[in-house]
Chains A and B, each alone.
Chain A
Amino acid sequence: MAERPEDLNLPNAVITRIIKEALPDGVNVSKEARRAISQAASVFVLYATSCANNFAMKAKRKTLNAGDVMAAMEEMEFERFLQPLCEALEAYKKGQKGKKAASEQKRKDKKKSETDENDKSRDEEEDEHMDEEQDGENEGEEEDVEN
């Protein structure tokens, strides 16, 4: 099963949904047109990637970043995409931050419950960083232990 880049198509259902949402009600799309759009989308990804990679290489970086893709869009004459892409990126970054914080919190909670018996003092230091709310509540109670 040789996988050429052209064979990697994006899921038809998603492509169809995007098309339907872009077009007014009552408009249909033939199967051939849908397939052609899907192929065009794959070519778009390849072309955008190649363009973005040029910018990364120019900057002597090995990792493609968001800025490279934005520059590629301009190069490809898709400036109209820049603003919606910037907005989407902001939303995405916020979402990632939230998830990272949530999983870090989970990890710290796990650690805390395991080392509870051994390092009470260390835990309290961490408490000050993580659980600001708790600090407010426990201030009166734990003062003795801190001292």
Chain B
Amino acid sequence: MAATAPAAPAESDLDRSGTEDELRAAEPDEDAGNAHGGPAAGAQQQHRLAKLPLSRIKALMKADPDVSLASQESVFIIAKATELFVEMIAKDALVYAQQGKRKTLQRKDLDNAIEAIDEFAFLEG
């Protein structure tokens, strides 16, 4: 009799798994971990494929009023793209630091890179 009690939350997991691909279901992934036993399942979600936390990326995406839902894959790709972006802008800014014979990247190096490189035009102003 007591053994059947855990069956109830397991059934509700079944309902949620249908919406696993949607943005808000990214949270139930961590909740499902709790139902099975510990948040370990949620922590494993990162699995070293994306360095940036998907939850934070998702929160930023939700800030856009036009965005209603985003698949887990899209959140992941944006996280990965942001990582590539950070690498790119750091390397480009380094060029300017080296021109100034410096080994420390400074804010002005970034400003120079942003002004000079077309792809970074969206960062101006």
> Which A residues have a C-beta under 8 Å from some C-beta of B?
3-5, 8, 10-11, 14-15, 17-19, 21-23, 26-30, 32-33, 36-37, 40-50, 52-53, 57, 62-66, 68-70, 73, 76-78, 80-81, 84-85, 88-89, 91-93, 95-96, 99-100, 103, 106-107, 110-111, 114
Indicate whether A32 sits within 8 Å of B90 (C-beta atoms), given known contacts A8-B60, A92-B49: no
B81 touches A64 (CB 8 A): no
Docked Cα-Cα span, A27 to B104, in Å, equals 6
Main secondary structure, interface of A, reads helix
A49 touches B60 (CB 8 A): yes
Docked Cα-Cα span, A63 to B80, in Å, equals 19
What distance in Å separates the Cβ of B59 from its nearest Cβ neighbour in chain A? Answer: 6
A114 touches B71 (CB 8 A): no
A76 touches B122 (CB 8 A): yes
Closest 5 pairs between A and B when the two form their complex, measured CB to CB: A64-B70, A5-B63, A22-B87, A63-B69, A66-B73
A27 touches B105 (CB 8 A): yes
Which residue on B lies nearest to A79, using beta carbons? B119
Interface string of B1-14 (1 = CB under 8 A from A): 00110110010011
Indicate whether A89 sits within 8 Å of B66 (C-beta atoms), given known contacts A8-B59, A48-B78, A48-B81: no
Indicate whether A11 sits within 8 Å of B56 (C-beta atoms), given known contacts A40-B123, A62-B69, A95-B49: yes
Main secondary structure, interface of B, reads helix
A57 touches B66 (CB 8 A): yes
Across-interface contacts of B120 in A (CB, < 8 A): 40
- Ordered by A's residue number, 8 sampled pairs between the chains whose C-beta atoms are within 8 Å are A11-B52, A17-B51, A41-B85, A69-B81, A80-B88, A81-B84, A84-B80, A85-B84
Across-interface contacts of A99 in B (CB, < 8 A): 41, 44-45
What distance in Å separates the Cβ of A86 from its nearest Cβ neighbour in chain B? Answer: 9
A114 touches B104 (CB 8 A): no
Docked Cα-Cα span, A52 to B78, in Å, equals 10
Docked Cα-Cα span, A84 to B49, in Å, equals 12
Docked Cα-Cα span, A4 to B65, in Å, equals 12
Tell which of A19, A49, A77 touches B86, judged by Cβ atoms closer than 8 Å. A19
Which residue on A lies nearest to B103, using beta carbons? A27
